Amino acid sequence: MSVTLSHPSSCLLLLILLFPGHPSASGTSISDMVNTAARVLNRARRARHSREFLHAHNIARESSGVPPLEWDKGLARFADKWAKQRKPVCNMMHSDGPYGENIFWYRRKKTWSLEKVVTRWFEERFNYDTKTNTCASGEMCGHYTQMVWRATRAVGCARVKCDNGRGYLVVCEYDPPGNYEGESPFDQNTVK
C-alpha cells in the first residue's frame, strides 16, 4: 500500500501522527509546521517540473542532432519572475530580456502537461525549411528553432497559474539565445 501526500495539511497530519510528542516539535506552531511542509512540497514540485522541462527539451534536441541542454536555476528564476509579472492579464508578451525565450498559454491544466507544451514547440519543425532557413508561409517555427539552437547550452522554465481563471502561462529562457536572422539553428559555427 502506498500513500501520496500532495497537500501541506496532509504532510502536517502525518508528522503529528508519527511524532506527537517529539521534542523538536515543542514550541513550534501548527502554522509554522504547515508553512514548512508547503515549502518542502513546493521545492519538490519545482524539482519535478525542472526535470520534466529539461527531459522534453533534450529529447527534442537529440532527435534534431544537437547537444543536450543543462538546467539553469538562474534562467528558471528569470522565467518565473517574468511569468509572475504576466499573471494578472496572462498575455503572451516577451520580456525583451538578455535570453532567448519561448512562451505558451493554455486554458486547462488537465490537457497540457509540461512535456506536451515543449512538444508543441517541437512540432513547429514541420513548419521549418532547413534549405531556406525560413518558416512556411503564415506558420510559426521560431519556438522550435530556439529550442534546438546548437549554441544554446542552458534552459530554465516556469509555469504560473494566471489570475481570475485565465489559464496557465509557461515561459522558458535559453542561454545563449538563438534565432539570429540569417543564421541556421544547426550551424556549427554559431556561437554568440
Task: Kindly report, residue by residue over 103-144, the tens digit of the pLDDT.
Answer: 999 988 777 899 999 999 999 999 999 999 999 999 999 999
Does the structure show a pLDDT above 80 at 4? no
- The answer to whether residue 40 sits within a structural domain is yes
| d(C-alpha 177, C-alpha 186), whole Å | 13
Q: Are 156 and 77 in contact (CB under 8 A)?
A: yes
CA count, 13 A, side-chain hemisphere, 117 = 25
CA dist., res. 124 & res. 152, Å (int) = 18
Instruction: Count the Cβ atoms, other than its own, within 10 Å of residue 145.
Output: 24
Domain of 100? 36-175
Supply the pTM of this predicted model. Answer: 0.80
Q: If you ran DSSP here, which 8-state letter would residue 7 be given?
A: S
For residue 1, being part of any structural domain is answered with no
Q: Residue 186, SS3?
A: coil
- Average per-residue pLDDT for the chain: 85
- Sign, CA torsion 64/46/11/109: negative
- Tell me, yes or no, whether 86 lies in a domain: yes
Tell me, yes or no, whether 10 lies in a domain.
Answer: no
Give CA–CA dist 185/169, Å, rounded.
25
As a whole number, mean pLDDT of residues 155-163 equals 95
> Alpha-carbon Rg of the chain, whole angstroms?
20
Number of domains in the chain: 1
- pLDDT per residue as tens digits for the range 31-55: 776 677 767 777 777 778 889 999 9
CATH of residue 152's domain is 3.40.33.10
CB-based contacts of 112, cutoff 8 Å, min separation 6 = 106, 168
Which ranges constitute the DSSP H helices of the chain? 8-18, 30-63, 73-86, 114-122, 142-147
Q: Which helix (DSSP H) or strand (DSSP E) does residue 167 occupy?
A: none
Cell of 188: 556549427
Evaluate whether residue 17 is within a structural domain.
no
Domain presence at residue 116: yes
Q: How wide is the angle at C-alpha 72 spanned by C-alphas 48 and 161, nearest 5°?
A: 50
- Flag whether 115 is in a domain: yes
pLDDT at residue number 142: 96
Is residue 113 in some structural domain?
yes
Q: Are 120 and 36 in contact (CB under 8 A)?
A: no
Q: What is the pLDDT of residue 191?
A: 47
CA atoms of 52 and 178, how far apart (whole Å): 22
